[in-house]
Amino acid sequence: MPSPLPPLFEELPQVLVEKIDLETPWALLGEALDEILAALPADAIDISLTPDAHVLGDRIAIGAGTRIQPGAVIEGPIWIGRDVQIRTGAYLRAGNWVGDGCVIGTHTEVKRSILLPGAKAPHLNYVGDSILGRGVNLGAGTILSNFRHDGQEVLIPDGSARLSTGRRKLGAVLGDGVLTGCNTVLNPGVVVGRGTQIYPGVLLRSGLYPADSIIKLRQQIEIIERQT
């Protein structure tokens, strides 16, 4: 039976290929990610750190060419590739994998997520328990929400059925090249196929969204004369 998931990733780093099941990619955020991070050396930082970049804990790998601006906070265990930009006020909590050439922007928080090479969360974003494909770009204020208010398992609607994820915390799985507009909010359990664009202000409910699509928000604006 073919997978109900839309096409997501054309190429994955080898360390992830060995762990991922493409029919349940969100499982990569569990024990598989723990195993990848547990295998890191205690200290593999290939850049010079300034005192105003706050790097805490151990099992921290940072590749050559990465730039960390003043005021950023990075907690281990974490793997950060080469030529990554981590800007002022960014908060990378323990348990992340950040690929080469990614951007973590000003006042962006990333929690237990995987960013494939070239993914960008550049402006006031929250990325919780999510996977961002290559070249993903989150518009300013995009939120990838990861927790249901009732604390129950995140289920992904698929027509009349629901896919079990086995996870109480799961944000979004965004395929390669997905773009979100400013102030987009994705509810827990959103899977978006590669190449899809999401317009500004969209509130996207849990579910599977096709590749190579445009997701629009239509709204009606009413302008009335002021009473003086």
Q: What is the spatial distance between Cα 6 and Cα 213, in angstroms, rounded to a whole number?
A: 11
Q: Residue 55 and residue 49: Cα distance in Å, rounded?
A: 9
pLDDT in tens, 50-64: 889 999 999 999 999
The residue-averaged pLDDT of 182-189 equals 98
* Active site (annotated) includes residue 123: yes
Fold held by 14-215: UDP N-Acetylglucosamine Acyltransferase; domain 1 (2.160.10)
| CA 54 – CA 63 distance, rounded (Å) | 16
pLDDT (tens digit per residue) in 134-159: 999 999 999 999 999 999 999 999 98
Q: Looking at residue 50, what is its pLDDT? A: 86
Confidence of residue 3 (pLDDT cuts 50, 70, 90): confident
Q: Where are the domains of the chain?
A: 14-215
pLDDT at 51: 87
CA dihedral 117, 173, 194, 9 (to 10 degrees): 50
Give the pLDDT mean for 84-106.
97
pLDDT of 42 reads: 81
Catalytically annotated residue among 54, 107, 123, 149? 123
What's at 8, amino acid-wise?
Answer: L
Mean pLDDT on 102-128: 98
pLDDT, residue 160, reads 86
What's the mean pLDDT when you consider all of the chain?
95
